[in-house]
Structure 1
Amino acid sequence: MNNAPKASFLDDVKWTPDGLVPAIAQDAKTGRILMMAWMNRDALAETARTGYAVYWSRSRQALWRKGESSGHQQKVFEIRLDCDADVVTLQIEQCGGIACHTGRESCFYRVLDGEQWQTKDPVLKDPKEIYS
């Protein structure tokens, strides 16, 4: 039995066959893409209801409230659905300035240089200190 909340905005989303939609978190001030994660109906509904980002962890098969272990919550200012209704963007404030589990501002810290990925962004805080 599906206990997911019923709401018209959730019905407008084109969910993957496994009930997910990609969600891109973007810094509301700078426009920088900080991370991409997955949401299911419950995650999107809770994000809209609370104003804080909630994702679906595919590895844990559970809701993942961003920042619950690191303290780096994402305050959501706006949620957008793309033209195909199959991608969500979140305009957020990244509390603590770190979105990535590696201790960086963004999960997108590597840049293709020729045929190799080069790390361009520094670690702001050692992950061992974040996830102790």
Structure 2
Amino acid sequence: MSDKDWLDAVRWDAQGLVTAVVQEAGSGDVLMVAWMNRDALARTRELGEAVFWSRSRKRLWHKGEESGHVQKVESIRLDCDGDVLLLTVRQLGHEPPIACHTGRHSCFFRELQGGDWTSVAPVLKDPEDIYR
């Protein structure tokens, strides 16, 4: 399969994006969900580090470019429908690892308990110390 063919196998949405689920190697924790376009996916493969498409900033976003919390990509998988990617990563830049802009290990830190969303994971580092 040529370089072009592997990108063409992805079912991009109408905006040219695909959902990317990011899972931590070792623990299996889901760290975050983001979006990738063709350039982000190609750049991720080239660098071996996660690069996403920021819908709010309307530009490529190399994870860790501001925070230093880089995601080293161990594998990239495509689901059976071709419309979701699974990136297995090693989270670098802080011990314990931080993936969320809130300073938590994972973006999935709120759990539905009764009728309320309750934070069930601690802030590992104050976001003001991460993003200056």
What TM-score do the two structures reach when normalised by structure 2? 0.94
Q: CA deviation at 1:80?
A: 0.2
Give runs of ≥4 in structure 1 deviating > 3 Å. none
**Structure 1 counterpart SS, 2:56:** coil
Identity %: 58
Q: CA deviation at 1:125?
A: 0.2
For structure 1, list consecutive stretches of 5 or more residues without a partner in the other structure. 1-5
Q: What is the count of residue pairs matched by the alignment?
A: 127
Matched residues in 1 for 2:114 and 2:17: separation?
34
Between 6-15 and 19-28, report the one with greater CA deviation: 6-15
Q: CA deviation at 1:49?
A: 1.1
Matched residues in 1 for 2:123 and 2:65: separation?
20
User: Where does residue 126 of structure 1 map in the other structure?
Assistant: 126
The residue type paired with residue 61 of structure 2 is W
Asked whether 1:104 is paired with 2:104, we answer yes
User: Where does residue 113 of structure 1 map in the other structure?
Assistant: 113
Matched residues in 2 for 1:30 and 1:7: separation?
33
Matched residues in 2 for 1:104 and 1:51: separation?
23
**Structure 1 counterpart SS, 2:42:** helix
Matched residues in 2 for 1:40 and 1:114: separation?
37
User: Where does residue 79 of structure 1 map in the other structure?
Assistant: 76
**Structure 2 counterpart SS, 1:99:** coil
**Structure 2 counterpart SS, 1:9:** helix
Matched residues in 2 for 1:7 and 1:26: separation?
26
For structure 2, list consecutive stretches of 5 or more residues without a partner in the other structure. none
1:39-67 superposed Cα distances (whole Å, 9 cap, x missing partner): 00000000011100000000110000000
The residue type paired with residue 117 of structure 1 is W
Asked whether 1:43 is paired with 2:43, we answer no
Between 6-15 and 54-63, report the one with greater CA deviation: 6-15
User: Where does residue 88 of structure 1 map in the other structure?
Assistant: 85
The residue type paired with residue 80 of structure 1 is R
**Structure 2 counterpart SS, 1:98:** coil
